[in-house]
């Protein structure tokens, strides 16, 4: 540890080290940055991860495919449904099952609801990182409505566990569509308020514009995905490029910004919220009748081989890689989590910016720490 | 001169953007109806308008519904135990000799460890006789950890007729 | 010995009675001592009550702005919540930081508190309730209130914590620069008032408050004073010294128990002081709202006691400052300085000239 630090700090230039995290209000979890500073200017930054490592990938090797689902909830807990879906899609792909159309639609709707809920929480915590604490409560207030929809249909607010290989645990609640329509009507009124309080604000503009510029080359070579990469002009939306579930039936725009600074990352996510609502509006009335699950054997054994499935979670591309030896447990399970890759760019983005910018940049990357450590 | 005009216009546009935000917070300050807080212990009772009601699918804890005659549907097959990812459930069965003289497996104790449960609903979903269900109880706090180990079948309960 | 007449509209007869009777009973030295003790205790009580109430008010105001209820458990509407908090802070352990400069560490909160007290002495609370009426009252307030930063700097330095140090240094840079704006905006009003004595300033507003008398430059000065005053109290959006999301708590990271409470109270009293200066200089202090020519209206306004006027105005300004805090994101340190040196200061200088011009030409009301 001491060696690492001494290699980073330039004492002659009056640099010093501070620890941001693991217990710090703005790391949104137990992430630790070892930052070497010169005055207030960040010279270099080292992320230290592993404080919430639970060995989910290893635990998966002793669980059946149905049981794995509930663990994936606990990775990126803000897009729990997307994580579940990734595993389910991978297993279905391996088995070669086609799930009913109804399932696809419901999964897509829940995906977008998850994305909205996740972006809302990101918005409020980003506002709080910048120091505007009122944002936090407005975001949470609106997110609560989505969580109610989840709770009514899935039985849980955060860790849904609603998917199962082959379909869904149970059918949607009769109120499901009505509530979503109510929510969209409500949220279309509230989203301009977000803009009024934070997006248009001159302080926020000055704090985010031209801060932490992520170039397109860096975005690609570091494997950055999600809104973070799309703000740099990297068209990487899995929903568009490798459509899964019912995304090919929805008409939506891939949000692309070119500058790649903190403000564009912010703007990309704000626009994605509008797009998500558009997708929801298109799908919510057209859920086809049918079964909520495909016919599945009680014990799922994947044929021997390697399988990969990617989905677009709220933070970027989530990949699930399964190596199967033909047993009911996977031989190896690997998650390509978007946050882990997005974190890697932190050092490059923050160097020669101030501490306040470091907080804004890490907020704009929208990191969820349990997803990094798994 | 151009830069001076920009300087002045920057000030006005900046102040305008700040006022826009202040309008939102100011509006909420003067509209107490927009308050969304629910006061927890009070809203459990019927006094207030907003009564706390959990959705009927809410996964509170696993229970085993019993009929009025103290009968449950569990055949002690152990599928829930197998399906549980955390080892939350333990089914202890006994061999009874039935009326026709055959040996028959019956439930002795269905042990459910709430402290280990992650509410994945696999036990409820896979139960072939629909013996398990979720209750909407959410106040699980107890002073003694042992109280979280629950025996789901009530004492003296028997298997419901017609369920194999 | 005078007859005692308690008149809520003019408390000077009451204070005068106290003064005269004390001097008649004791030797002049002891009479002065007694007066000092009485004033000190009264100030202390006022300080504690206002501090606790402001903490409560802030929590309620921010709660309402955020669609919440705020404190509501301790007492009716959570009114004694802050008292409970204070009792808790009093009982908490004072954590001693190893390798900290212990003397300075314990000294720092007292400096902040003492500076607060000294500033409060010069504020006219109501007609006749005024501890010291300097003829340079405005200058005195400006000089003393900026000394609080010494306490903050000492706190940041002595804690031996890098977060505290960064916070303290930010606070130093911030207050040194914003002191200018506070001073200049007050000077603008002194130009209009023609005096630096706070009692004269208040008396001068009996017909019309200075913010209306001086119209455009006065309003500009008022806005600048509010911004700079908010910055001087280290409150959001200028709370860089604390910067919860960046520095966890800034200069008081390492403080616990009552020494933390001192900083916390001092912050709120600072806000109160800034608000009461603004109320005094711009909004007429305890002077009722008068419109010349409307005798009936003026009589109704006169019916409200001066102390209520003073407190009411102060709380309106405090509410505006809270509104700022709970709406805006925090500035970065370089933006903070840009705002001061590139915007507030030039505008302020132009504003003084404008005000001088208006006073010379007699264009004010």
Residue count of chain C, please give it. Answer: 365
Query: Across chain A, what does the average pLDDT equal?
Result: 86
pLDDT at A179 over 70: yes
> How many B/C residue pairs have CB atoms within 8 Å?
37
The answer for residues whose C-beta is within 8 angstroms of residue C285's C-beta and 6 or more apart is: C124, C198, C201, C202, C205, C279, C309, C310, C313
Q: How far apart are CA C332 and CA C40, in angstroms?
A: 39
Give the model's pLDDT for residue A1. 47
- Helix ranges restricted to H, chain C: 12-25, 28-65, 81-91, 102-120, 137-145, 148-158, 162-193, 198-203, 210-213, 215-232, 244-247, 257-283, 295-303, 306-325, 333-338, 345-361
- Helix ranges restricted to H, A222-316: 227-230, 238-241, 262-284
Q: How far apart are CA C1 and CA C25, in angstroms?
A: 10
Which residues of chain A lie closer than 8 angstroms to C248, CB-CB? 24-25
Written as six digits, the tokens of C334 are 């370089």
Residue A196 and residue B20: Cβ atoms within 8 Å?
A: yes
Same domain, B74 and B153: yes
Residue A356 and residue C326: Cβ atoms within 8 Å?
A: no
Q: Are A369 and A31 in contact (CB under 8 A)?
A: yes
- Angle, alpha carbons A194-A199-A203 (nearest 5°): 125
Residue A156 and residue B59: Cβ atoms within 8 Å?
A: yes
Q: How far apart are CA C127 and CA B128, in angstroms?
A: 84
Q: Which residue in chain C has the smallest CA separation from A39?
A: C166
Tally of structural domains, chain B: 2
Which is nearest to C324 in space by CA: B12, B35, B18? B18
Residue B21 and residue A197: Cβ atoms within 8 Å?
A: yes
Same domain, B30 and B85: no
Q: How far apart are CA C64 and CA C327, in angstroms?
A: 12
Give the model's pLDDT for residue B49. 59
Q: Are C135 and C196 in contact (CB under 8 A)?
A: yes
Query: How far is Cα of residue A228 from the mean position of the Cα atoms in its chain?
Result: 11
Confidence of residue C94 (pLDDT cuts 50, 70, 90): confident
Whole-Å CA distances, C28 to A225, A322, C21, C42:
81, 93, 11, 21
Kind and range of the H or E run holding A58:
helix A56-60
Same domain, B98 and B147: yes
Q: How far apart are CA C18 and CA C1, in angstroms?
A: 10
Q: How far apart are CA C348 and CA C107, in angstroms?
A: 36
Q: Which residue in chain B has the smallest CA separation from A200?
A: B17
- Would residue B15 count as lying in a domain? yes
Residue B34 and residue C67: Cβ atoms within 8 Å?
A: yes
Same domain, B91 and B145: yes
Kind and range of the H or E run holding A336:
strand A332-336
Which region among A11-15, A312-316, C22-26 has the lowest average model confidence (pLDDT)?
A11-15
Confidence of residue B46 (pLDDT cuts 50, 70, 90): low
DSSP code of A79? G
Which is nearest to C171 in space by CA: C189, C195, C194, C155? C155
How confident is the model over A201-227, as pLDDT tens digits? Answer: 888 888 888 888 888 888 889 888 888
Residue B25 and residue A197: Cβ atoms within 8 Å?
A: yes
Same domain, B89 and B143: yes
- Would residue B48 count as lying in a domain? no
pLDDT at A5 over 70: no
pLDDT at A44 over 80: yes
Give the model's pLDDT for residue B50. 60
Q: Which of A25, A131, A198 sits opposite C330 (nearest CB)?
A: A131
How confident is the model over C95-133, as pLDDT tens digits? Answer: 888 888 888 888 888 888 888 888 888 888 777 777 777
Which residues of chain B lie closer than 8 angstroms to C219, CB-CB? none
Q: How many CA atoms does the CB half-sphere of C264 hold within 13 Å? A: 21
User: What residues 257-296 of chain C have any CB closer than 8 A to a CB of chain B?
Assistant: none
Q: How far apart are CA A294 and CA A292, in angstroms?
A: 7
Q: Are A78 and A116 in contact (CB under 8 A)?
A: no
Q: Which of B23, B55, B120 sits opposite A161 (nearest CB)?
A: B120
Q: Are C328 and C237 in contact (CB under 8 A)?
A: yes
The answer for residues whose C-beta is within 8 angstroms of residue C65's C-beta and 6 or more apart is: A134, B25, B26, B28, B29, C323, C326, C327
Confidence of residue B47 (pLDDT cuts 50, 70, 90): low
Same domain, B28 and B103: no
B20 vs A: CB within 8 A: yes
Residue C329 and residue A24: Cβ atoms within 8 Å?
A: no
- Range of A254's domain? 56-373
Q: What is the mean pLDDT of residues C216-220?
A: 84
Tally of structural domains, chain A: 1
Confidence of residue A4 (pLDDT cuts 50, 70, 90): low
Phi, psi of A333 (to 5 degrees): -130, 130
**What CATH number is associated with residue A76?**
1.10.645.10
Q: At what angle do helices A101-130 and A176-194 cross, to 10 degrees?
A: 30
Q: What is the C-alpha radius of gyration for chain C, rounded to an integer number of angstroms?
A: 21
Which residues of chain B lie closer than 8 angstroms to C72, CB-CB? 39
B135 vs A: CB within 8 A: no
Phi, psi of A3 (to 5 degrees): -65, -45
Same domain, B25 and B68: no
Is the bond preceding C57 in cis, omega lying within 30 degrees of 0? no
pLDDT at A2 over 60: no
> How many A/B residue pairs have CB atoms within 8 Å?
73
Mapped to the 3 state alphabet, what secondary structure does B98-147 carry?
CCCCCEEEEEEEEEEEHHHCCCCCHHHHHCCCCCCEEECCCCCCCCCHHH
- Would residue A338 count as lying in a domain? yes
Q: How far apart are CA C185 and CA C295, in angstroms?
A: 32
Same domain, B76 and B28: no
Which residues of chain B lie closer than 8 angstroms to C68, CB-CB? 35-37
Q: pLDDT: is C358 or C128 the higher one?
A: C358
Residue B36 and residue C327: Cβ atoms within 8 Å?
A: no
Give the model's pLDDT for residue B143. 92
- Range of B78's domain? 61-159
pLDDT at A104 over 50: yes
pLDDT at A170 over 60: yes
**What CATH number is associated with residue B148?**
3.30.70.3270
How confident is the model over B113-142, as pLDDT tens digits? Answer: 888 888 888 888 888 888 888 888 888 888
Residue B112 buriedness (CB in 10 A; 0-12 / 13-18 / 19+): buried
Question: Which chains border C (3 or more CB–CB pairs < 8 Å)?
Answer: A, B
pLDDT at A173 over 70: yes
Which residues of chain B lie closer than 8 angstroms to A164, CB-CB? 125
Distance (Å) from the alpha carbon of A151 to chain B's nearest alpha carbon: 6
Residue A233 buriedness (CB in 10 A; 0-12 / 13-18 / 19+): middle
Residues β-bridged to residue A322: A307, A333
Q: What is the mean pLDDT of residues A104-132?
A: 88
Q: Which residue in chain C has the smallest CA separation from B41?
A: C73
What ipTM was assigned to the predicted interfaces of this complex? Answer: 0.82
Give the model's pLDDT for residue A287. 85
Q: How far apart are CA C70 and CA B4, in angstroms?
A: 45
Place of tokens 């709406």: C327
Same domain, B92 and B128: yes
- Would residue B123 count as lying in a domain? yes
């Amino acid at each position: 540890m001491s060696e690492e630090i001494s290699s980073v700090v330039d004492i002659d230039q009056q640099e010093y080290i501070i620890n941001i995290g693991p217990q710090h209000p703005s790391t949104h979890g137990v992430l630790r940055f070892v930052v070497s500073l010169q005055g207030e200017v960040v010279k270099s930054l080292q992320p230290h991860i592993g404080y919430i490592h639970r060995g989910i990938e290893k635990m998966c090797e002793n669980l059946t495919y149905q049981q794995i689902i509930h663990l994936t909830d606990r990775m990126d807990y803000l897009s729990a449904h997307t994580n579940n879906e990734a595993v389910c899609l991978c297993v279905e792909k391996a088995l070669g099952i086609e799930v009913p159309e109804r399932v696809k639609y419901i999964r897509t709707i829940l995906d977008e609801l998850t994305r909205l809920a996740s972006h809302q929480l990101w918005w409020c915590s980003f506002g709080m990182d910048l120091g505007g604490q009122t944002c936090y409560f407005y975001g949470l207030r609106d997110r609560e409505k989505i969580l109610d929809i989840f709770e009514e249909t899935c039985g849980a607010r955060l860790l849904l566990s609603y998917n199962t290989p082959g379909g869904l645990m149970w059918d949607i609640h009769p109120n499901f569509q009505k509530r979503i329509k109510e929510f969209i009507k409500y949220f279309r009124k509230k989203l301009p308020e977000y803009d009024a309080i934070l997006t248009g604000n001159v302080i926020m503009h000055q704090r985010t514009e031209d801060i932490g510029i992520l170039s397109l080359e860096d975005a690609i070579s570091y494997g950055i995905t999600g809104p973070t990469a799309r703000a740099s002009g990297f068209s990487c939306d899995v929903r568009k490029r490798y459509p899964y579930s019912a995304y090919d039936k929805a008409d939506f725009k891939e949000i692309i910004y070119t500058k790649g600074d903190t403000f564009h990352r912010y703007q990309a996510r704000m626009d994605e919220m509008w797009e998500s609502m558009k997708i929801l509006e298109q799908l919510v009335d057209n859920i086809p009748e049918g079964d909520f699950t495909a016919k599945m054997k009680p014990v799922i054994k994947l044929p021997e081989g390697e399988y990969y499935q990617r989905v677009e979670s709220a933070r970027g591309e989530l990949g699930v890689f399964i190596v199967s030896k033909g047993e009911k447990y996977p031989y190896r399970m690997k998650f390509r989590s978007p946050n882990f890759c997005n974190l890697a760019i932190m050092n490059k983005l923050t160097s020669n910016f101030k501490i306040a910018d470091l907080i804004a940049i890490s907020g704009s990357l929208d990191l969820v720490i349990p997803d990094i450590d798994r | 001169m151009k830069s001076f005009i920009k300087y002045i216009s920057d000030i006005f546009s900046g102040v305008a953007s700040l006022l826009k935000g202040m309008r939102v917070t100011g509006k909420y300050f003067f509209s107490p109806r927009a308050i969304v807080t629910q006061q927890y212990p009070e809203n459990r009772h019927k006094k207030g308008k907003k009564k706390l009601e959990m959705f009927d699918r809410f996964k509170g804890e696993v229970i085993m519904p019993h009929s009025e005659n103290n009968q449950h549907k569990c055949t002690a097959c152990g599928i829930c135990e197998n399906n549980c990812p955390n080892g939350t459930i333990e089914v202890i069965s006994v061999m009874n000799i039935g009326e026709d003289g055959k040996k028959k497996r019956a439930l002795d104790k269905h042990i459910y460890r709430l402290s280990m449960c992650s509410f994945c609903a696999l036990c409820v979903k896979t139960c072939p006789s629909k013996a398990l269900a979720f209750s909407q109880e959410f106040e699980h706090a107890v002073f003694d950890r042992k109280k979280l180990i629950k025996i789901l079948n009530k004492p003296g309960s028997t298997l419901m007729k017609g369920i194999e | 010995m005078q007859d005692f007449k308690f008149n809520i509209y003019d408390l000077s007869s009451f204070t005068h009675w106290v003064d005269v009777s004390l001097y008649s009973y004791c030797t002049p030295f002891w009479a002065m001592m007694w007066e000092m003790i009485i004033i000190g205790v009264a100030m202390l009580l006022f300080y504690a009550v206002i501090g606790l109430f402001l903490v409560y008010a802030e929590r309620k105001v921010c709660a309402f702005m955020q669609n919440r209820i705020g404190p509501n458990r301790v007492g009716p509407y959570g009114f004694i919540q802050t008292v409970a908090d204070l009792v808790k802070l009093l009982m908490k352990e004072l954590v001693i930081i190893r390798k900290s400069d212990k003397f300075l560490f314990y000294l720092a909160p007292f400096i902040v508190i003492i500076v607060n007290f000294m500033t409060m002495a010069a504020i006219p609370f109501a007609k006749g309730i005024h501890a010291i009426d300097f003829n340079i009252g405005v200058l005195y307030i400006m000089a003393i209130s900026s000394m609080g930063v010494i306490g903050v700097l000492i706190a940041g330095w002595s804690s031996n914590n890098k977060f505290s140090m960064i916070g303290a240094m930010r606070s130093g840079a911030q207050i040194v620069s914003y002191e200018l704006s506070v001073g200049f905006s007050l000077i603008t009003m002194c130009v209009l008032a023609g005096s630096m004595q706070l009692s004269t300033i208040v008396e001068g507003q009996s017909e019309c408050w200075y913010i209306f008398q001086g119209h455009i430059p006065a309003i500009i000065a008022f806005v600048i004073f509010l911004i700079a005053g908010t910055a001087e109290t280290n409150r959001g959006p200028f709370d860089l010294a604390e910067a919860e999301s960046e520095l966890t708590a800034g200069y008081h990271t390492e403080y616990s128990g009552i020494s933390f409470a001192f900083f916390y109270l001092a912050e709120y009293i600072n806000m109160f002081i800034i608000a009461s200066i603004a109320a005094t200089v711009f909004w007429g202090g305890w002077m009722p709202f008068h419109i010349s020519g409307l005798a009936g209206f003026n009589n109704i306004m006169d019916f409200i006691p001066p102390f209520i006027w003073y407190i009411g105005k102060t709380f309106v300004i405090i509410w505006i400052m809270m509104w700022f805090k709970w709406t805006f994101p925090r500035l970065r340190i370089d933006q903070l300085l840009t705002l001061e040196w590139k915007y507030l200061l030039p505008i302020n200088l132009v504003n003084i000239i404008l005000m001088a011009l208006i006073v010379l030409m007699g264009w004010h009301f």
